[in-house]
Structure 1
Amino acid sequence: MSANSSSRYSTVAIIFHWLIAILVIVNWRIAETAEHLQMPEKAEVFGNHKALGMLILVLSLGRLAWRLGHKPPPMPEQASGWEKTLAKAVHVIFYILLIGLPIGGWLASSLTGRPIDFFGIFTIPMLPVGENPEAGKAIFDAHATGGSIMIYLIILHVLGALKHSFIDKIPGLSRMWFGGSR
């Protein structure tokens, strides 16, 4: 059976999925922690959040490129129409957020005159937008809201996978886990 006709995702897709998922959750926790700190420690922790966000952006673009070139497995036939529609919508929103949130953070950082230090390895330059602290703050606020939406969608996604696997007895978790037969 070819990778395209398999009921499981490819190994590359699985690696992208879990790596990005872990990094998103870690990055959310970093942001939550930073919110409760005082300057200059707050800025330092947010610096790590921004660097990790840029890594998530690169990995998400790689994942999207992989997905465009490698058709994912079909949804299980046992899934209802509304579940298939909801799953597709959630995946589209995930891609929008995985790409849009880091770009929004980069834009807001640029508008507030702050380049992004990538873990001391190199500096990601500001976007050529000029400084506008008010616009930067508004985008940071939208970024935070988008981050909250991402967390709610992750919860929905996990609950759906658990429901399919343990209640409906439809392979859900095994489609996106390592090992097993294709």
Structure 2
Amino acid sequence: MTDATTKSRYSLGAMIFHWAIAIAVIWNWRLAETAHETADRAHGAALMADHKALGITILALTLGRIAWRLTHKLPPLPANYATWERVLARGTHLIFYILLVALPLAGWIANSLGGKMIDYFGLFTIPALPVGQNGDLGHSIFEVHATTGTIMIWLIGLHILGALKHTFFDKDGGIFRMLPFGSVGAERR
């Protein structure tokens, strides 16, 4: 790997955080969707328990990723990006970080308002936050949580389309900036 390639790629730590969070978010979305679609209440409750535990995992991974990002230099955006692409890329990343913290926190707060603890995959229990009990408010927060989760999935779709555009249409190796293999734009020149 050339020095130019190394500078145009994200660090290995950033790659690990990125892909772990991406897989966890998509998996967690499917858990919630499946839980709501099932007619078996016990199975739905078990899926939601896993959804909550995975949400806490996503929160922890996101806080780790933010710490990593604050202590490791980002590669610059490729020079061929138009101004609108730069603004969209940076804005999308900022919204991702906000949602990756806000969604799990909102779920935890709503759960806590119902007086419920979170079972972390049967390993230990995460206590309810000290927010008191208010089932109506908790339900409202869960509704916002679900809507915002759908927005996150649409944002992931936009992110994937952008990576594919840069990789296959612009041919600047966009997706390979977040992978330890493949040709990044700097290698092509």
**In the TM superposition, what is the alpha-carbon distance from 1:181 to its structure 2 partner?**
8.1
Distance 1:84 1:145 in 2: 27
**In the TM superposition, what is the alpha-carbon distance from 1:178 to its structure 2 partner?**
2.0
Q: Which residue is equivalent to 1:26?
A: 27
2:173–2:182 Cα contact (<8 Å) kept: no
Q: Which residue is equivalent to 2:136?
A: 134
Distance 1:48 1:149 in 2: 21
Which AA in structure 1 matches 2:74? P
Q: Which residue is equivalent to 2:165?
A: 163
**In the TM superposition, what is the alpha-carbon distance from 1:58 to its structure 2 partner?**
0.2
Normalised by the length of structure 1, the TM-score is 0.95
Matched residue SS, 1:139 = helix
1:110–1:127 Cα contact (<8 Å) kept: yes
The count of residues paired between Structure 1 and Structure 2 equals 181
> Is it true that 1:8 corresponds to 2:9 in the alignment?
yes
Could you list the per-position Cα deviations for residues 101-139 of structure 1 after superposition, in whole angstroms to 9, with x for gaps in the alignment?
Answer: 000000000001111000000000000011100000000
Runs of 5+ in structure 2 lacking a partner? 185-189
Matched residue SS, 1:117 = strand
Q: Which residue among 93, 96, 109 is the counterpart of 2:95?
A: 93
The alignment yields a C-alpha RMSD, in angstroms, of: 1.6
> Is it true that 1:124 corresponds to 2:129 in the alignment?
no
Distance 2:149 2:73 in 1: 28
Distance 1:180 1:29 in 2: 30
Distance 2:156 2:56 in 1: 19
Deviates more, 1:84-93 or 1:167-176: 167-176
Distance 1:114 1:2 in 2: 51
2:52–2:107 Cα contact (<8 Å) kept: yes
1:76–1:171 Cα contact (<8 Å) kept: no
Normalised by the length of structure 2, the TM-score is 0.92
Q: Which residue is equivalent to 1:149?
A: 151
> Is it true that 1:106 corresponds to 2:135 in the alignment?
no
2:173–2:183 Cα contact (<8 Å) kept: no
Q: How much identity, in percent, do the aligned residues show?
A: 56
Runs of 5+ in structure 1 lacking a partner? none
Distance 2:52 2:12 in 1: 28
Q: Which residue among 57, 75, 78 is the counterpart of 2:77?
A: 75
**In the TM superposition, what is the alpha-carbon distance from 1:2 to its structure 2 partner?**
8.9
**In the TM superposition, what is the alpha-carbon distance from 1:27 to its structure 2 partner?**
0.5
